[in-house]
Amino acid sequence: MKPVRKIHGLAVGLEMANVDTDQIVPARYLYRNRSEGFADTLFHDMRSDPQGCERDSFPLNAPEAEQATILVTLDNFGCGSSREHAVWALVDAGFQAVIAVSFGDIFRNNAHENGLLPVVLEEHEVMHLLQHVKSGPAKLTVDLETQRVRLPDGTCFSFDIDSAARENLLLGRSKIDATHSLMSTIDAFEEAYLGRHPWSE
């Protein structure tokens, strides 16, 4: 997993709330192997009509949006299905951060595991950013070390992030390796736990 520190890139806006993971990657693409990639499935049915023609009105279809690394959106982004493919599709399409008013819990955890930085800002701050990208993708800096989002005019918004997630993202570390070093603690806990709850064995 690539460490995340400072993302200085183009931001694109998706001014919608409750964008569920079925919208991010439709279920019919989920059977692919991870190595096949999911970039082409990102927002598939929002991007194009059933005949396969791209919808001009969809912000990610703007030619400059191809280079975007930051997505700005509203409440409850990534709600619904637990499919990690939603995060893979964003990462495969080049996104490194998503800024939203709130996230679905499972999506946020999945993002942490794949080097995608989920940033929660106040609604008025997100509206300010959406205004900034209204006429098309625009520059933005997201700094995980200082926990700040900065616009080119110097406007700054600070954000909170779970400190465990921050550390793992900064180090590019996946949890599974960290946990493996605790195996003897887990074994001891398990023995005592199963002694008290033998029906769990």
Partner 1 sequence: MTGSKTLFEKIWDAHAIRVSENGESLLYVDRHFIHDGTSQAFEKLELAGHGVRSPHKTFGTADHYVPTRNGLDGLTDPARRAMVLRLEEDAKRYDIRCFGFGHQHQGIVHVIGPELGLTLPGFLLVCGDSHTSTHGALGAFAFGVGASEVAHVLATQTIWQARPKTMRITLDGHAGVGVTAKDMILHIIGTIGAGGATGHVIEYAGSGIEALSMEGRLTLCNMSIEAGARAGLIAPDDKTAAYLKGKPFAPSGADWDHAVAHWQTLASDGDAAFDREVRIETDNISPTVTWGTSPEDAVPVTAAVPDPQGEPDAERRARMIRALDYMNLKPGTPMEAIAVDRVFIGSCTNSRIEDLRAAAEILKGRKTRIPAMVVPGSMIVKAAAEAEGLDRIFAKAGVEWRDPGCSMCVAMNGVDVVGPGERCASTSNRNFAGRQGRAARTHLMSPAMAAAAAVAGRIVDPRKPLPGGA
Residues 6+ apart with CB under 8 A from 134: 13
* Residue 193 CA, distance from chain mean position: 35
- Among 50, 52, 154, 195, the residue binding partner 1 under the rule CB under 8 A is 50
Query: How far apart are CB 59 and partner 1 at their closest, in Å?
Result: 14
| Residue 171 is a binding residue for partner 1 (CB under 8 A) | no
Smallest gap from residue 78 Cβ to partner 1 (A):
10
Sequence-distant (6+) residues with CB within 8 A of 194 are: 200, 201
Strand order across the beta sheet in which 68-73 lies: 117-120, 97-100, 68-73, 6-14, 138-143, 148-150, 156-158
Q: For residues 63 and 196, which CB has a smaller minimum distance to partner 1 in the complex? A: 196
**Looking at this protein, which amino acid is placed at residue 65?**
A
Work out which of 98, 106, 142, 144 binds partner 1, going by CB under 8 A: 106
Q: What is the chain's Cα-based Rg?
A: 19
- The answer to whether 126 and 74 are in contact (CB under 8 A) is yes
Q: Which of 2, 3, 17, 67 is in the footprint of partner 1 by CB under 8 A?
A: 17
193 contacts partner 1 (rule: CB under 8 A): yes
CB 67 → partner 1: shortest distance, Å? 27
Binding mask 112-131 for partner 1 (x = CB under 8 A): -xx-----------------
Stretch that binds partner 1, among 6-14, 16-24, 60-68, 139-147 (CB under 8 A): 16-24
- Contact track, partner 1, 131-170, x by CB under 8 A: -------------------------------xxx-xx---
Relative orientation angle of helices 163-171 and 105-112, to the nearest 10 degrees? 30
For 154: left if phi > 0, alpha if psi spans -120 to 50, otherwise beta; the answer is left
Q: Among 110, 133, 137, 150, which residue sits at the site for partner 1 (rule: CB under 8 A)?
A: 110
Q: Does 80 bind partner 1 (CB under 8 A)?
A: yes
